[in-house]
Structure 1
């Protein structure tokens, strides 16, 4: 629902004058309170990265704590938690990545941002614990998930990636986005509601049959051909058509 400027002003007046923070082990009531504040802020300014991250953490921190516990059970995950590599904008050298061989993950990653006039996400608040790190990691790797799955960044592609992520990681934010996307099919030329729903169901099933992407260490594979990573990480798209 689009808000009028008056409604946005009313919401803005109810917001705190400072950005709230989540404690290390927030209770459900704290997560609900902070999450609702973040949701109000995002209705006023949907692209605000700080409030977006806070809403994400409020919704997903429980799942991310569970993922962190799973990470601690295997070598790849333990290494991620110990070293906490970052893919935030200030830690990335797109110029260096673009010099890697054409078709490699790194070169494709750099061109992805250059061609669309974008920059990688910049995490504003360092994670305080493993659960917060996993939440940060999932936000920072969103565009890599686009690349490895092949889903585009238009309306349909974004919703397909959310459906894939729901099947792959069971993120509540993905479910919320999909539930709010009922009219998205009207903005996808050439697709009616039934075709749109079928594409999302296909992406969901594909995500469930693919390797869980949360613990994959992308930084070790900048020189690896993207086509090879797709074969290793995700179920073939044609399998679900």
Structure 2
């Protein structure tokens, strides 16, 4: 098995090189699903073109260029969760801080050097994962995580989400952990995917400017309505 401490992606790596590194990362993640280095590397390997397109989109607006220049961060060392939790209930800041407390987890932390704008967008995608749980309302259980991946696939075309959905669905079929019949499970993934396609792109939002905004307000602005499932 590859040593995650030595894995890296060369600048201007070819598709073949990216696939090779991604396969090495998958070997590590099979035994260490929470490995931060491989989790980030596989995103860059598979979604380099997606992130490059998002960079081009951001470069076309003043706000986007500012984001690329200042590179805001939602990492733990850049957040004061105690202060955010003091904000009124229902605001993004309060609910974001409570989300980490209730789930007994810590904010995402990158272990990779940000060498360019594409690296920043890859980091931004991963660190907005928890914000997206709040905005979409998808839970942190297995079903909710799969719905969030389907939403990200529909919204941004994230290729890593395809991989996670494929492996996740296979695992559900094998172990029957989802608690849903297969048709219902697939129907919920399809609904989440379509909702993502119908929603505004979530990755170019400066969430740090919206801590005092109610989650319900941001949800209405950014997310298409959720389909009510029977």
TM norm structure 1: 0.90
Kindly report the root-mean-square deviation, in angstroms, between the aligned alpha carbons of the 2 structures.
1.6
Question: Quick one: which of 218, 223, 237 aligns to 2:226?
Answer: 237
Structure 1: give runs of 5+ residues left out of the alignment.
1-11
SS at match of 1:182: helix
Counterpart in the other structure of 1:127: 114
Answering whether residue 166 of structure 2 is matched by residue 176 of structure 1, we say no
Tell me how far apart the structure 2 counterparts of residues 44 and 112 of structure 1 sit (CA, whole Å). 27
Show the counterpart of 2:177: 187
In 1, the alpha carbon distance for the partners of 2:104 and 2:94 equals 15
> What is the deviation of 1:75?
2.4
- Give the CA deviation at 1:48: 0.9
Q: Is the 8 A contact 1:164 1:207 kept in 2?
A: yes
Give the deviation of 1:44 after TM superposition. 2.4
Indicate the residue corresponding to 1:214 in structure 2. 203
- Partner-residue secondary structure (3-state), 1:187: coil
Q: CA deviation at 1:29?
A: 1.9
Give the CA deviation at 1:33: 1.7
The answer on whether the counterparts of 1:77 and 1:215 sit within 8 Å (CA) in structure 2 is yes
Q: SS where residue 170 of structure 2 aligns?
A: coil
Q: Which has the larger radius of gyration?
A: 1
Please report how far the alpha carbon of residue 16 of structure 1 lies from its aligned counterpart in structure 2 after TM superposition.
4.2
Q: Which residue of 2 aligns with 1:94?
A: 81
- Indicate whether 1:150 and 2:137 are aligned: yes
Aligned residue in 2 for 1:7: none
- How many angstroms does 1:188 deviate by? 2.0
- Matched residues in 2 for 1:231 and 1:86: separation? 24
What SS is found at the alignment partner of 1:122?
coil
For residue 96 of structure 2, what is the aligned residue in structure 1?
A: 109
- TM superposition shift of 1:57: 1.3
Paired positions, count = 227
User: In the aligned structure 2, how far is the partner of 1:208 from the partner of 1:153?
Assistant: 21
* Matches for 1:38-49 after TM superposition, within 5 Å: 38-49=25-36
Pairing 1:154-165 to 2, within 5 Å after superposition: 154-165=141-152
Shift of residue 121, structure 1, vs aligned partner: 0.7
| Equivalent in the alignment of 2:38 | 51
How far apart in 2 are the matches of 1:77 and 1:17?
Answer: 33
Question: Is it true that 1:33 corresponds to 2:20 in the alignment?
Answer: yes
CA distance in 2, matches of 1:40, 1:18: 14
1:198 to 181, 187, 211: 187
Deviation of 1:18 (Å): 3.9
1:24 corresponds to: 11
Task: Quote the offset at 1:155 in angstroms.
Answer: 0.7
